[in-house]
């Protein structure tokens, strides 16, 4: 099980020392976690993810290039066509040896119509399931993960939305259930903060230890 820590702002280098698989940077200006600084040096094995919400493709590509992003997380209502166009544009301006993964987010309230995924199957690399809330993301609430029992795809997905230290037992149960078959990564954000964008290193350490014990 991979781990993504999102909403990097004030202490990304400290979080990077914990060696998560992914670090997320929010490029949606209204967010309290909006990242506008210089990218610190991050070990190359940690993938840098840019999080965008219904924005111009030029802006996305500019950030990809400026910060050498490895993946983009599309956290709005981006269409499958938008995802395809982004991938094509990226391929046309980047050396083919570099990759850009597209993570398309879908927000879940009580139930979810998985038929919507059909259009995205060919044009993104991962899905991410978050909780529907007032904001596009970072709401800090979990959704009922049993919805994923009906997940119809083989595509790996990130499990997100309000995951915190108190979620460990639920995670353990979920990850040993058939519903988690294609769960590729756990994504954490606001539940590990003492202020927006300032991650609690001690809490993350505790979480990583627990996640590792579930993984083994």
Ligand X SMILES: O=C(O)c1ccccc1N[C@@H]1O[C@H](COP(=O)(O)O)[C@@H](O)[C@H]1O
Location of structure tokens 């998985």: 114
Binding of ligand X at residue 138 (CB under 6 A)?
Answer: yes
77 vs 91 by CB, closer to ligand X: 77
At 21, give phi and psi (nearest 5°).
Answer: -80, -30
The answer to whether 167 contacts ligand X (rule: CB under 6 A) is: no
CA-based nearest residue to 46, from 9, 2, 87: 2
CB 188 within 8 A of CB 3: yes
Taking CA atoms, 84 is separated from 4, 7, 72, 205, in Å, by 24, 25, 13, 37
Radius of gyration of the chain (CA): 16
Q: Mask of contacts with ligand X, 27-66, x by CB under 6 A?
A: -x--x-x-----------------x-x-------------
Partners of 120 in beta bridges = none
Q: Among residues 160 and 180, whose Cβ is nearest to ligand X?
A: 160
Residue 83 binds ligand X (CB under 6 A): no
Give the bridge partners for 131, in sequence order. Answer: 108
| Joined tokens for residue 138 | 């970072």
Task: Report in angstroms how near the CB of residue 42 gets to ligand X at its nearest.
Answer: 16
> Which of 8, 9, 12, 24: binder of ligand X (CB under 6 A)?
24
Span of 91-99, 148-156, 166-174, 181-189 interacting with ligand X by CB under 6 A? 181-189
Task: Give Cα separations from 29 to 26, 33, 78 (angstroms).
Answer: 8, 8, 17
Stretch that binds ligand X, among 10-18, 89-97, 134-142, 149-157 (CB under 6 A): 134-142
**Site stretch for ligand X (CB under 6 A), options 147-155, 159-167, 169-177, 208-216:** 159-167
Residues that bind ligand X (CB under 6 A): 6-7, 24, 26, 28, 31, 33, 51, 53, 75, 130, 135-140, 160-163, 187-191
């Amino acid at each position: 099980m991979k781990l993504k820590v999102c909403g990097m702002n004030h202490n990304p280098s400290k979080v990077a020392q914990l060696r998560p698989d992914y670090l997320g940077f929010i490029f949606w200006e209204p967010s309290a976690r909006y990242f506008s600084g210089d990218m610190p040096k991050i070990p190359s094995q940690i993938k840098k993810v840019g999080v965008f919400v219904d924005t111009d493709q030029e802006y996305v590509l500019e950030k990809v290039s400026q910060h050498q992003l490895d993946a983009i997380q599309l956290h709005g209502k981006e269409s499958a066509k938008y995802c395809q166009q982004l991938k094509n544009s990226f391929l046309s301006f980047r050396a083919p040896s570099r990759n850009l993964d597209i993570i398309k987010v879908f927000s879940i309230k009580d139930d979810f119509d998985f038929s919507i995924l059909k259009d995205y199957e060919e044009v993104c690399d991962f899905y991410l399931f978050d909780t529907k809330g007032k904001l596009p993301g970072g709401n800090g609430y979990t959704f009922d993960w049993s919805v994923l029992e009906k997940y119809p795809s083989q595509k790996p997905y990130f499990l997100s939305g309000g995951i915190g230290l108190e979620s460990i037992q639920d995670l353990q149960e979920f990850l040993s259930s058939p519903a988690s078959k294609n769960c590729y990564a756990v994504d954490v954000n606001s539940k590990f903060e003492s202020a927006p964008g300032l991650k609690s290193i001690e809490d993350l350490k505790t979480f990583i230890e627990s996640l590792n014990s579930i993984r083994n």
